[in-house]
Amino acid sequence: MPTQATDVDAVGVVGCGLMGSGIAELCARKGLDTLVYEANARALEAGMSRIESSLSRAVERGKLTSDDRDAALQRISFTTDIADFTDRDLAIEAVPEDEALKLRVFADLDKALARPEALITSNTSSIPIMKLTAATNRPGQVVGLHFFNPVPVLDLVELVPSLVTSDSAWERLRAFVTDTLNRHVIVSQDRAGFVVNSLLVPYIVSAIRMFESGFATANDIDEGMVHGCAHPMGPLRLADHIGLDTTLAVTESLYAEFREPHLAPPALLSRMVQAGHLGRKTGKGFYKYLSGKAA
């Protein structure tokens, strides 16, 4: 169960896509009362199925007992009304990487959360946290809380305070992540991309430019980094795994912040997103996929 030091027992997760469902699953597995919001019943059903499937796979792999799976599912409830977040100690926004959408969510959460000390966090992978505080009347309670996919497996969390995050909010959230969620924390200044994506995305963009120019095939670029640099996955396959829409959004955020030419989104990346070729989740990106596996 949550430690007394964290003062967080009830968590709300906004969004039940790939990241939101993983965050909700993690919270439930750690003994937290977890409420998940989605915009409509169809999205909610898809999110529920995603969580149930993930927990069942954990049982099949021997990472979780069937009793633990059932207990985690009992701790998760679902809603299509964000006003139900009124009793939450912590809200985690996990909607797509769209600044306008995130600002609307933050404004809604600010109204919904009844407790003035309740924390509002964002799983954004690139948008400066200071921008999101503008949508709330509690800027001191806003912090970046960036998980990595798949959330139940990868133990890294980036914590990102803004210039106005209060010391008490920072201490409570850090204790929650380390003590309750048992995750490894790194801290970043409030700059677009934070630590990981500021290093990773320019690397992926360079690989896209190399492919776009005809310098090498997608497979040869990826095989070069896997077999020559011992990377577990090549940059183009990794972009497909992340989602090309998310990759583009992070690239645009980095370019808007730093205005460095090498950060400008490649035309090919923009065209692929416009075509709906988003990578693994749509079955086509730099590779084709069948049932989640490369064809």
Q: H or E segment at 11? A: strand 10-14
Ranges of H-type helices in 149-243? 167-175, 196-212, 218-229, 235-242
Among the options 21, 54, 122, 197, which is catalytic? 197
3-state helix, strand, coil in the chain (%, to 5): 50, 15, 35
Q: Which residues contact 167 (CB under 8 A, 6 or more apart)?
A: none
Among the options 21, 123, 125, 198, which is catalytic? 125
Among the options 97, 158, 198, 253, which is catalytic? 158
Strand blocks (E) in 55-163: 76-79, 90-93, 119-122, 142-146, 156-161
182 is catalytic: no
146 is catalytic: yes
158 is catalytic: yes
Among the options 25, 126, 146, 198, which is catalytic? 146
Whether residue 88 contacts residue 10, with contact meaning beta carbons closer than 8 Å, is answered with yes
SS (H, E, C) 203-228: HHHHHHHHHHCCCCCHHHHHHHHHHH
Whether residue 272 contacts residue 285, with contact meaning beta carbons closer than 8 Å, is answered with yes
162 is catalytic: no
Active centre residues (catalytic):
125, 146, 158, 197
